[in-house]
Amino acid sequence: MRFRILRLLPLWLMFSVSQAGTLMETWETGYTGADATGPHIAGYWKFDGESPEQALRDISGKGHDLKLEGGGAWNPKGRSGGALESFPGFPIQDKRHAAATPSKADLSFTGAFTMEMWIAPKPEFEDRLRCYLLDKKYVDHTDYQWQLGDADKGGLRRMWVTIGFGSESRTFYSDPARYEPGVWHHVAFTYDGAGEGRFFIDGQTAGRQHHDGVAGPVPGTKPLSIGDRLGSNYGGFPGLIDEVRLCRGVLAFEPVALTIASPRTVWQRMEKAEPIEVSCVNLRREPLKGATLRLSWSGGGAVKTIPLPELASGATHVERFPVDTSLRPEEYRFTARLELTQPKVLSTEREARFSLMARLPERMPVIMWGVGIGSVEKEADRLRDLGFTHCLGMGADYGAIWKADGEVMPEAPEKVAENTRLLDVALRHDLELVTSLSPGRWLESDPANHRVGRDGKPYPRQDICASTPEFAPFFQRVGASVSKAYGTHPAFSMGLVNTEVRDASAPSFNAGDVERYRAFSGGEIPPEVASRSGVEWQKLKDFPADRVVPDDHPIL
């Protein structure tokens, strides 16, 4: 089989589920013990036995024994032991060729799940035919369906899996690959329960796709059919199927997880950039030896070849690749290729796209007040066409910063990462973002911070007690935290602080203010001080005729 493993990974910290601690499944040698009968196994069919009845048993112990339907057959000469044999459907013969088991709740998934099997096409698998490897969906918007499509002009086919989400269904497509007659290949599909599906062929990534706005599948009521579709037009797989396993959760099939991580995807030319990190995780259950990592940047960029040290099972090796921002402004391709020589020759490749933007001269800001960071991706082109150079941007979690002792992340890490991505979007579109911060307004939300009159009641127009000693450091922490998170990004250009302030200043007789005045002066606030408009000198007893007031006058 020949196919190219090529995935685009343009976002921050692309760690796969397998990197979180799941080792590679023993798909090459089959499954025993907990891998065959554990609680995460929904069904496992090996098609081995002395008779069709024995061969169609559910090895997982969950009781989902199969029954041959239509022209489906058991073939004693499978990959290892027997196999399910199916035959072409429409338009050759619109007849069912399958093995099926009745619908049960544990054959439906509501979150992440994995499907896998071995397949070997027969010569009857004509280029024009597409087929169904398994089906529990039919035409409903529930459960799942796995197909292998017709061949393109080059003889390559794509797998696709369709998942029902209740009111709609979404389809995930693999990369094209060649399936030769009589050659066994292990194929697998994983769904993470949050919109991402991945395909694997013989332990190598063969496609990754994400659908927004979907979560777990919706369970249905159809039986599970292996080797064909549930209804007409039938589409049996012209070949042999062996070792079918359905599991809950996302399982790993690659010997090594290779990922590209970068907090940024767009830089300004000559900007100082953080290196790209490439992580290699050994997912095999034995040490990884003889691996080579090749890193390259297109358009005349650097090339690195790194022989990897021996990696224990589950161990990680991280390489840092410097970003050369002196290259000319354009889009670049960064490629990470891992080549293995033991226990067999294998390679896997990841690719990410990065951009360098020109450094432009200073310009007069033209700020769009009515568009915030959440709309910058949608409105970027229109903003630029209308002549705007800036729009409103990031905020801060004032509550978290108030509780902190020093600089902290201004918002949750995932929010900061998303804001950084949107700053990249702005930079790519020659826009800049303006942070809008109102720590003073946040403090106003607590009545304990309000100024009060001599009667002890808050003023109609609220304002904070500015003399509170904790407030000034808090304001500083807000600014420092936002600057720490985004200050190096060239698309973050300025900040608006406590904008649209309505004057609410007035003498404050809050208990804290009164106590601080005593500590300062050694006395009480003069009774003449009561109004925000000041003290009328005409009403002051013994006020100097020349109106010259000494520097130490208590009212001052």
For residue 15, tell me if it sits in a domain: no
Query: Is 9 part of a structural domain of the chain?
Result: no
Rounded CA-CA distance 274/277 in Å is 9
Q: Which residues contact 242 (CB under 8 A, 6 or more apart)?
A: 46, 47, 78, 79, 80, 81, 82, 83, 84, 117, 118, 119, 120, 184
Quick one: pLDDT at residue 380? Answer: 92
Give CA–CA dist 437/478, Å, rounded. Answer: 8
My answer on whether 283 and 367 are in the same domain is no
400: tokens are 């978290």
Cis-peptide into 510, omega within 30 deg: no
Cα distances (angstroms) measured from residue 159 to each of 207, 331, 543: 9, 31, 94
Last residue of some domain: 213, 248, 283? 248
By DSSP bridging, strand 492-497 and strand 331-340 are: unpaired
Same domain, 321 and 389: no
Beta bridge partners of 85: 73, 240
Q: What is the largest CA-CA distance in the chain?
A: 121
Q: Which of 437, 422, 427 is nearest to 497 (CA)?
A: 437
In a domain, 5, yes or no: no
Residue 416 placed within a domain: yes
Looking at the structure of the chain, the number of domains it has is: 3
Centre a 10 Å sphere on the Cβ of residue 187 and count the other Cβ atoms it contains. 24
Domain boundary among 208, 226, 248: 248
**Per-residue pLDDT at 511:** 87
Q: Name the residue among 265, 276, 271, 330 with its Cα closest to residue 490.
A: 271
Neighbours of 537 (CB within 10 A): 12
Residue 479 has a pLDDT of 95
- Give the whole-angstrom CA distance, residue 60 versus residue 65: 10
Mark whether 117 and 241 lie in a shared domain: yes
| Residue 65 pLDDT | 98
**Separation of alpha carbons 356 and 28, rounded Å:** 43
d(CA 147, CA 209): 16
Task: Please indicate, yes or no, whether residues 323 and 393 belong to a single structural domain of this protein.
Answer: no
Per-block average pLDDT, block size 10, for the chain (556 residues)?
A: 35 37 87 97 97 96 97 95 96 94 98 98 96 98 98 97 98 97 98 97 92 97 98 95 98 92 96 96 91 95 95 94 96 94 82 94 91 89 94 94 94 94 95 94 90 86 87 95 95 88 80 88 85 82 86 80
Q: Where residue 266 sits, what CATH number does that domain have?
A: 2.60.40.10
SS3 of residue 106 by DSSP: helix
141 is in which domain, residue-wise? Answer: 25-248
Residue 321 corresponds to which amino acid? F
Same domain, 305 and 380: no
Residues 133 and 87 in one domain: yes
- Residue 2: the pLDDT is 34
Domain membership of residue 539 (yes or no) is: yes
Residues found in the chain: 556
